[in-house]
């Protein structure tokens, strides 16, 4: 599993064994990956993609993993450098979400 580093470098993303097992299970349940026959389900190399990357959206991944977008602070320049085109789209979503969240007052809740 890889993550972008500052700039355009890609570096290995370090997960604990427990995190890796949980992620593989989530991705398998979501049918993003398939376990090869007679392979170890605890190893990343034991899986093959079930769909093309272009067919899997960020929303699909967030829903499958139970994660969310963090709109609590503005997007940083480092984020834009790390994630390129995706950051541009996420930056717009983040800014719109922040505008709408700012308009919700305690009396609205």
Q: pTM score, two decimals?
A: 0.65
Predicted pLDDT at 9: 56
DSSP symbols for 35-60: EPTT--TTSGGGEEESS-GGG--HHH
Q: Could you tell me which residue, 91 or 27, shows the higher pLDDT?
A: 27
CA pair distance 61, 66, nearest whole angstrom: 8
Check if the beta carbon of residue 7 is closer than 8 Å to that of residue 14.
no
Q: How confident is the model at residue 8 (pLDDT cuts 50, 70, 90)?
A: low
Query: Considering only CA atoms, which of 22, 86, 79 is closest in space to residue 53?
Result: 86
Got the DSSP string for 16-33?
A: -HHHHHHHHHHHHHTTSE
């Amino acid at each position: 599993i890889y993550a972008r580093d500052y700039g355009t470098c890609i570096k290995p993303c370090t997960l604990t064994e427990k995190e890796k097992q949980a992620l593989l299970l989530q991705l398998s349940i979501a049918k993003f990956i398939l376990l090869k026959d007679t392979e170890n389900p605890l190893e990343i190399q034991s899986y093959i993609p079930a769909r093309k990357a272009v067919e899997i959206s960020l929303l699909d991944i967030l829903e499958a993993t139970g994660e969310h977008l963090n709109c609590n602070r503005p997007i940083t320049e480092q984020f834009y450098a790390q994630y390129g085109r995706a950051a541009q789209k996420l930056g717009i979503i983040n800014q719109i979400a922040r505008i709408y969240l700012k308009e919700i007052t305690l009396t609205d809740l």
